[in-house]
Amino acid sequence: MKSPIAGVLGSPGQRLRAAFQAAPIAVPGVFNALVGRMAERLGFQAVYLSGAALSASLALPDVGLVTLTEFVEAARDIAAATQLPLLCDADTGFGEALNVERTVRLFESAGAAGIHLEDQQMPKRCGHLSGKQLVDAEVMAAKIRAAASARRDADFVIVARTDARGVVGLEEAIRRARLYVAAGADVIFPEALESREEFAAFARELAPVPLLANMTEFGRSPNLDFAELAQLGYRMVLYPVTTLRVALRAAQAVLADLLAKGHQRDHLERMLTRAELYELLDYAGYEERDRAYFG
C-alpha cells in the first residue's frame, strides 16, 4: 500500500505537520531503514527513531551513551529509504543550549522532520524507569528557544518532552509544558502518564497545543487504543520500541531452534520470502537501471 502522504510536496517538517494537523496519526518506531520502508508501504504517515531502540540495537542501555553523530547517521539512513517524515529522539539535546543548536542543524541536514528534547539531567534514564532527575525548567526552556532559533526550516518540528510526572507529579508536568510552549515548542510530549484520566487531564489543560502520547510497552502508562487517545486530543501516538521488541523475540526463537533442532524450517511461514524481501528492496529496479546504463 502506498503512503497517503508519499506524493505530498514540501520539506520533511511540512509533511509531518500536514499529517498530524489533518488527523491524529500513529507513529511507529523503526529501528532501521528497511523497517521504515516497510511502514511506508503499509500506509503509515510518519515514522520515529527511538533512542531506546537505537541504544538497544548497539547492545547498550538507554542512559545517554549513544552519541549525536550516531543518532544522526541512523536518521540519515532512514530518511533516505522512505518519503515518510521522520521524527527523532534527541535525548537531552546532547548538551546545553548551544549544543542544541548543532543538534537541530545536524538532524535537519540528515533529512529528519523534527526532534524531541527532554528535560532530564544526565545521565538520563528511560522515561518509564525510576531514578530520573530533572533540569530546571528554565534550562529546558533555553534549549527549546535554541532549537527553534537554530532550525533553517521554520516547519522543522520541535517537540518538548517533560519527564516531570514521574519525578514531581502531574501538576508540575503541566506547568513545565506551558513554559515550553511559550519558549517555542510546537508539540508537547508528556512522558509516563499513569492513567487514562491523566492523559485526559493533561490534554484538557494544554488544549489546543498539539500533543504526543507514548504507548511504549511494559512501562508506567496504560496501553490505550489509538482511537481513544485521538478522541482525548493527542495528535501523534508513538509506538517507539514495538517493532524491535517483536523482532528480537522472533530472532531469539529461531536462534534457539537452530541450536536445539539444527534447522529453521518451523519458522519459514513467519519469514519474508526471498521475493517479498527483494520487492521491499526494489531489487528489480536496481537491475533494470544497471542494464540501462550499459545500453
Which CATH superfamily groups domain 12-241?
Answer: Phosphoenolpyruvate-binding domains (3.20.20.60)
CATH 3.20.20.60 domain range(s) in the chain: 12-241
The CA-atom distances, in angstroms, between 39 and each of 29, 199, 269 are 9, 27, 20
Of the candidates 14, 56, 45, 79, the residue with the CA atom closest to the CA atom of residue 246: 56
Is the pLDDT at 228 greater than 60? The verdict is yes
pLDDT-derived band at 127 (thresholds 50, 70, 90) equals low
Residue with cell 533555553: 142
Q: Give yes or no for a contact between 29 and 88, defined as CB atoms under 8 angstroms apart.
A: no
pLDDT of residue 6: 46
pLDDT of residue 8: 56
Of the candidates 57, 88, 102, 101, the residue with the CA atom closest to the CA atom of residue 212: 88
Q: Which residues are catalytic?
A: 48, 62, 89, 91, 116, 118, 126, 161, 191, 214
Of the candidates 39, 42, 43, 5, the residue with the CA atom closest to the CA atom of residue 21: 5
pLDDT digit string, tens, across residues 169-220: 999 999 999 999 999 999 999 999 999 999 999 999 999 999 999 999 999 9
Is the pLDDT at 1 greater than 70? The verdict is no
Is the pLDDT at 64 greater than 60? The verdict is yes
Q: The C-alpha cell of 120 is what?
A: 532530564
Q: Give yes or no for a contact between 12 and 111, defined as CB atoms under 8 angstroms apart.
A: yes
Q: Give yes or no for a contact between 138 and 181, defined as CB atoms under 8 angstroms apart.
A: no
To the nearest whole number, what is the mean pLDDT of the chain?
Answer: 95
Q: Where do the H-state alpha helices sit in the chain? A: 12-22, 33-42, 51-57, 68-81, 97-109, 137-150, 165-168, 170-183, 196-206, 226-232, 242-261, 274-281, 283-293
Is the pLDDT at 3 greater than 50? The verdict is no
Is the pLDDT at 151 greater than 60? The verdict is yes
Hey, how many other C-beta atoms are within 10 angstroms of the C-beta on 276? 10
Give the mean pLDDT of 283-287: 92
pLDDT digit string, tens, across residues 25-48: 999 999 999 999 999 999 999 999
